[in-house]
Amino acid sequence: MTSSSRIPPRHAPALDRRRFVQGLAFAGLAGGSGLLRIPAHAATATAPQVLTGTAFDLAIGASEVNITGRARPAITVNGSLPAPLLRWREGDTVTLRVSNHLADAPTSVHWHGILLPADMDGVPGMSFDGIAPGESWLYRFTLRQSGTYWYHSHSMFQEQAGLYGAIIVDPLQPPPFHYDREHVLLLSDWTDLDPAALFRRLKKAPSYDNHYKRTVGDFLRDAREDGLGATLSDRGMWGRMRMTPSDLSDVNGHTYTYLLNGLPPAGNWTGLFQPGEKVLLRLINAGAMTYFDVRIPGLKMTVVAADGQYVHPVTVDELRIAVAETYDVIVEPSGQDAFTIFAQDMGRTGFARGTLAVRHGLVAPVPVNDPRPLLTMEDMGHGSHGAHGAHAATPMEGGCGAAMAEGGCGAAMHGGAGDAHAGHGSAGTVVHPPGERGNPLVDMQSSPTGPRLDDPGIGLRDNGRRVLAYADLKSLFDDPDGREPGREIQLHLTGHMEKFAWSFDGIPFASAEPLRLNYGERMRIVLVNDTMMQHPIHLHGMWSDLEDAGGAFQVRKHTIDMPPGTRRSYRVRADALGRWAYHCHLLYHMEGGMMREVRVEESA
């Protein structure tokens, strides 16, 4: 296909036409000397600033950015949004002097997925006190890994305001695959709102962005197709859960503009290739709240690494990247001069977009968003039929929602949150903790029977494309520890949709005791998602070794995605002394309470 200099009108849906207009005026940054405006047609030739070596100076400050057509405040690093790409080398010791030039707010930087001493992890209140205005902090650590990672603030909502960037750690030994060139694809979400104001809106009106609630016409259609009784029963269950099946994400394209390497869709970030080359694409989801479904029409993607760690290659058409995850994929563009990089949000309300091309200025057709998916009771862990392989779940007794406030929902066994439980891997018993029962901040429980690792996720099933699932990811190495876990902790992801309250085991971060691990032990963490939302869970300082459905080691990650109604388990080697954060990486869920402290201590 011959590349066109503009996108044919039939490929520009109405919603995303607005997104294009937002990006046409200016997509640029304001530095200290005034607003630097970069016309979108020129922005295709820009690339993130790259810093290499072992010593770095990073200045965190306030800037103005103009992404949607009006100048808005942002928090930047060295005047850049996104922050500079940091290129390190395995085995090196790096020092990073981070200076806070903000007028009235402390700041911090967390090096996501990087193994380092606890006092270098960059989490205020655990690792250190934070960096006060006018002060600096010297980070220093030795790199014991390679791969694709990223960094971001761990102070309030600064990550949403622009404080995030990519990290590439080059390996000492050649990788187990060949490529001719590489590009970093850093996905993120931008809002013109003050992020703190967005959080307040979520607390007051959590369904503000859900424009797709079902109508009377939908009820009549469903009654004709499924019968009146089944339709009334379905509506009753959704009503008791105080949720609609279109409620896939708390914030979506009605509030967000989706960015690729800091540019909106109209900015058309462009990465070059020559026909016949193998191109390594390093995908990073630096969004605050957005799951992206990524594909490049006309190209297969071969996944070769997940969260910085090599995996057995698997070739797909599309993949879902959860917030905070990274994937390395290899593509071999040929046969046309330009290919569209298309990353639509999970709810199909918008997209980020860029181009792979033989020269700047080219574009390829941009797909329309896929049909908007709707959740089912099976997606919530309440169905009784085997809808998606291991997706079958035990039906709930009496529904959910309001029943929780009256003493629980469903037939659940209760036990202590930190107790060791029978069974191992993903086949063990779900034991609901006491903190869920009668809790006004918990509006439902699920009864998952398995991890659903082979399920690509809502909106991706049977779409005519080969879509990556967690079951496809297998590390190139065996379990690096080799020991069977000696202890198991089961934690439930809990929340209340209408109150926008989030927690583990029904206990928000402010009221929770730390989870205590013994230094050197091999343990298993079992997560059960009792909420109706998807959560990417990140444990700082240690690897999370995901287990398969039979409890065997499968793949090493730093972020474990947890769809609704799933039960997933992973092994942890407590080899890092100190205090560590453990949280949902949806920024507003973490700030809403879904966070714990993990303490790794010498055993008595």
Tens of pLDDT along 337-356? Answer: 999 999 999 999 999 999 99
Distance of CA 388 to the CA centre of its chain: 23
**Which CATH number fits the domain that encloses residue 592?**
2.60.40.420
Reported residue count of the chain is 604
Of 134, 159, 176, the position where a domain reaches its end is: 176
* Sheet with 338-345, edge to edge strand ranges: 269-272, 351-357, 338-345, 292-295, 318-321
In a domain, 73, yes or no: yes
The pLDDT value recorded for residue 47 is: 52
Residue 67: domain span? 9-176
The pLDDT value recorded for residue 445 is: 85
pTM of the model: 0.84
In a domain, 357, yes or no: no
Of 157, 176, 195, the position where a domain reaches its end is: 176
In a domain, 378, yes or no: no
| b/e map 537-547, b = 16+ CB within 10 Å | bbbbbbbbbbb
In a domain, 278, yes or no: no
Q: What is each CA distance from 548 to 16, 22, 516, 570, in whole angstroms?
A: 39, 44, 25, 9
The pLDDT value recorded for residue 539 is: 98
The pLDDT value recorded for residue 314 is: 98
End-to-end CA distance of the chain: 68
Q: What is each CA distance from 456 to 146, 253, 264, in whole angstroms?
A: 27, 22, 27
How many beta carbons lie within 10 A of that of residue 514, not counting itself?
14
Helix (H) or strand (E) holding 201: helix 195-204
Q: What is the DSSP letter of 414?
A: B
> How far, in Å, CA of 375 to CA of 564, rounded?
10
The pLDDT value recorded for residue 485 is: 97
> How far, in Å, CA of 146 to CA of 281, rounded?
15
Neighbouring residues of 333: CB distance < 8 A, sequence distance ≥ 6 = 273, 275, 277, 279, 299, 339, 356
Residue ranges, the chain, pLDDT below 50: 1-46, 211, 214-216, 218-219, 231, 235, 238, 384-427
In a domain, 299, yes or no: no
Kindly provide the residue ranges of all beta strands, DSSP E only, lying in 43-107, ordered along the sequence. Answer: 50-52, 55-66, 71-77, 85-89, 93-100
Of 176, 195, 218, the position where a domain reaches its end is: 176
In a domain, 103, yes or no: yes
Number of domains in the chain: 2
Helix (H) or strand (E) holding 198: helix 195-204
In a domain, 290, yes or no: no
In a domain, 40, yes or no: yes
